[in-house]
Amino acid sequence: MSEISAEKVKALREKTGLGMMKCKEALLASGGDDEKAIEYLRKQGLKTADKKSGRATEQGWIGSYVHSNGKVGVLVEVACESDFVAKGDDFQGLLKDLCLQITAMKPLAVGPDDVPEKIKESERAIYREQVKDKPDNIVEKILDGKMKAFYKERCLLQQEFVKDSSQTVQDMVTAVIAKVGENITVRRFVRMEFGAEA
């Protein structure tokens, strides 16, 4: 398919929020298939994010959310390269989505490197006890697999995105990086729940 209609490009642009040329490129690369074009754009977004990952993030915003019942509150610090992007709709939408994610999924840390060593050691000890009857040559592989599953469940960027379980929170952040053209870093967050211990 060498010709893609303007309506098809416009529809993909409305779905993704990306520029017309990027959408047309994706549709051409995927033979006009919308789903394949979205997958193509996501892969391109990953390439864009990798190129930008070394750039300094000195600007940003602190997003906040208090649940309607007044029992859960979240603060999240997200950095980017410019104040212009920080104030933009895409970045502000990202903040809201991150606050929603943190409220709903109760992550422990931003990523595996941010999980305190004491917690990692405790989890490994629990998992080691669970597999103590397994052959020694596979115990470490099982432990590594269980730790990966733990990080996927408890680390914000590795969790499934609550609004779209086909992608992770990192995928969502990467899509915004591709869209705004700047590096974005989720630095830290705090989730408070009334009556819960700190």
Show me where the domains of the chain are located: 6-52, 59-111+155-193, 116-153
Residues 48 and 79: beta-carbon distance below 8 Å: no
User: Is there a shared CATH topology between the 6-52 domain and the 59-111+155-193 domain?
Assistant: no
> Which tens digit of pLDDT belongs to each residue from 105-154?
999 999 999 999 999 999 999 998 888 888 888 888 999 999 999 999 99
**Amino acid 135: pLDDT:** 85
**Amino acid 51: pLDDT:** 57
**Amino acid 7: pLDDT:** 84
Residues 163 and 118: beta-carbon distance below 8 Å: no
CATH superfamily of 6-52: Ubiquitin-associated (UBA) domain (1.10.8.10)
**Residue 21's pLDDT band (cuts 50, 70, 90):** confident
**Amino acid 136: pLDDT:** 82
* High-pLDDT (> 70) share of the chain, %: 88
**Amino acid 1: pLDDT:** 43
pTM beyond 0.75: no
**Amino acid 53: pLDDT:** 55
59-111+155-193: CATH topology: Tetrahydropterin Synthase; Chain A (3.30.479)
> Which tens digit of pLDDT belongs to each residue from 43-83?
776 565 555 555 566 788 999 999 999 999 999 999 998 88
CA atoms within 13 A on the CB side of 185: 14
Q: Would you call 31 exposed, middle or buried from its count of C-beta atoms within 10 A (0-12, 13-18, 19+)?
A: exposed
Mean pLDDT of the chain: 86
Least reliable range by pLDDT among 33-47, 74-88, 161-175: 33-47
